[in-house]
Every structure is written in structure tokens, then in C-alpha cells.
Amino acid sequence: MSSKEEIMASLKKSIETWDVKLAESAAKEALDAGIDPGDAVENGLGKGMETISKLFDEAKIFLPQVLAASKAMEKALEVFEPVMVKGSTSSRGTVVLATVLGDIHEIGKNVVAAMLKGAGFNVVDIGRDVAPEKFLEAVKENKADVVGASALMTTTVVVQKDIVDLVKEENVSVKTIFGGAPASAEWVESIGGDMYCPSGAEAVELVTKLIKG
């Protein structure tokens, strides 16, 4: 049996080499070895995606390779998700989650959804490329405590402001949390949002804090 270090290295490598089969087998191996899925996602797969981001930034790889790496990531997440979600018994609150209008990046949002579900939150994932009005509809329909929006591009992060504006305009009682590469604590403060979240690992703690008020 491989050591934890070896399995984490395989998870990272599977993303870096966009190897879907390795992603699946390493994810299964991680579960068999009793590695915490959250740890495997953040510190194994996530590290691989950091390499991909860097290589893409440096124009050493291109969109098809990024897409292939995403497929590997999605395969591994498929293996982890049911296990992460199984932990939930009673609901700690309802969170509406999506990626904003004009933005199809969804891996980060899916990681956050899995982490929150695993921690016992009722997560209403309404997808990607979602208009602010749809966020609000889902919040009202599900009486959500928190609404979370992911934006990965400088061109779409502005939609996070539209969500805050709409929440205020309609006077809806819901807390807001935002994430994604172009977002920051300063950005969220400037748009009047409640919380910035830099990673899936911190999502559970920050959402808990928001709900407790």
C-alpha cells in the first residue's frame, strides 16, 4: 500500500498530467487509506490545479490541456463527493451556491459545495453562469441563511456586487459570501458583502461564523 505522501503526490500528478484514470484510482486509494477527502482535494488535487494555473499563465500549456486537467479533477471529485456528503446528519443551515453570470468555471464552487455538504449544511447548488435574480429566487424558495457566489474572471467578479445590491434592494435577510481568484477581502468589503472566502478548507468555518452572526 502506498504512503499518504505517495497518494497525495499521485493526486497532484493526475491533475498535472490530466490523467483521468490516475485521478480516479488515486482518489479511490486515498479513501482506502483513510485520507480525509477534504485534505485530498485541497492538498492533493488542488496543488495539481495550482501547477496547471501557473503553466497556463506562463503560456506553457493552453486551454485544451486546462480542460483535460479539469476533467481529471471532476473524475476525482466524483469519487470523493459521496463520502464527503455522507457525514451530514442534521442540517446546520441552508446555503445557496453558484458561479456568477457569464462565468462557467465551476470546479471551485463544486469543491466548496462538497465541503459544506460534508459538514452538514443543506447546499442548494444552482449551477454556473447564473444571473443575480436566479440567486435571489433560490434564496427565497429555500429560505437560505447564506448565499455564496464564485467568480473566476475579472470580467465576471463584478456580478458579485450585483448580487449584494439585489439582496439589499429586495431587503432579503441572507448573508453573502464570495470567492474565486479575482475576489479578495478588500473587494468583498468594498461591495458591502459579508465575507470573503479564499478556499474550500475555510468555507465551513466561515459559513458557520456567518450563520451564528
Grid coordinates of 176: 453573502
Which is nearest to 108 in space by CA: 78, 151, 76, 143? 151
Rounded Cα distance between 198 and 82, Å, is 24
Shortest CB 1 distance to ligand B12, Å: 27
Backbone angles phi and psi of 117, in degrees to 5: -60, -45
> What residues make contact with ligand B12 under the rule CB under 6 A?
46, 49, 52-53, 56-57, 63, 66-67, 70, 97, 102-109, 111-112, 148-150, 152-155, 177-182, 197, 199-200, 203
Task: Please give the C-alpha separations between residue 198 and each of 125, 176, 178, 202, in angstroms, as whole numbers.
Answer: 19, 14, 9, 7
Return the half-sphere exposure (C-beta side, CA atoms, 13 A cut-off) of residue 186: 1
Which is nearest to 45 in space by CA: 199, 150, 180, 156? 199
